Structure 1
Amino acid sequence: MISIQQEDFDLAHELQQLRKSCNQMGAFVSFVGLVRDYATQGQVTAIELEYYPAMTYKSLVRIVQQAELRWPLLGLRVIHRIGYLPAHAQIVLVAVASQHRHSAFAACEFIMDYLKTEAPFWKKEYINGQNYWVEAKATDTQALAKWQN
């Protein structure tokens, strides 16, 4: 259900596994985030993600549990990669199965909004031979606010 890993993932394989594990599924929605190749300081060649294993895993479990309380989900898969990742690499997968599309779309978006703001990952961008720690974005906090009302 939840993985934090350095290795890349095979999207088709992960979706096939989710599909096989769910009965009465009417929809599944997936989101794959990629390492952007741009930032305000210039062209990004890579990022590096650090985390504290026990704390980060517990945080992801809480996020998933909150989604399961809000929507009737049949299954889900969350993969978040860590380590050094070049531009355009896959960084995150959120896949959600439900009987209906509305629940699957909403839960997928909810999980991503919480991952961006509440999961304890520290990200460093490599730009033009320099590196910068990435601060939280106001737009991510605004996206989270809609779930907290």
Structure 2
Amino acid sequence: MLKFLLTLSLGVFCVSPLQAGELTPATKSCLSGEKQGHCERWVKDYKTAMEQAQKGDHGAQVTVAFCLSTGCHGAVTIDRVASCSWHLVIANSGAATVLDSSNLRNTCRPMTPAEKDQARALSSDLVKKIYKRSMITTDQM
């Protein structure tokens, strides 16, 4: 039984970066009510930002990282690993600011070592995809 659990847990961490890069967190369905319009606007803005972020737009990357860490008022599923990976992409963009470095530390430092490894793998794949180069090693987290 122990071997099975160990094998199963290793399988979780051995997802290839390409597969991990293709798993984008889903937007949520907005509940009807007075805040439905606000939520639907955030869903639309997030989807637009994700498209632009994958093309290298710094502001869109910041929006995506923010939404993945906060949920953007309930419009996006919170995913700390994905948020951290986008912060690492921003750090590798060449356009990072002091605020971006602070956001990277605040988002990534509380994560477990395994989560940090997942974020590094995902961000490495994203940097290759977006900037057509290898990720510069940064260990601000």
Q: Do Structure 1 and Structure 2 share a fold, with TM-score over 0.5?
A: no
**Richer in strand (by share):** 1
**Richer in helix (by share):** 2
> TM-score under structure 2 normalisation?
0.27
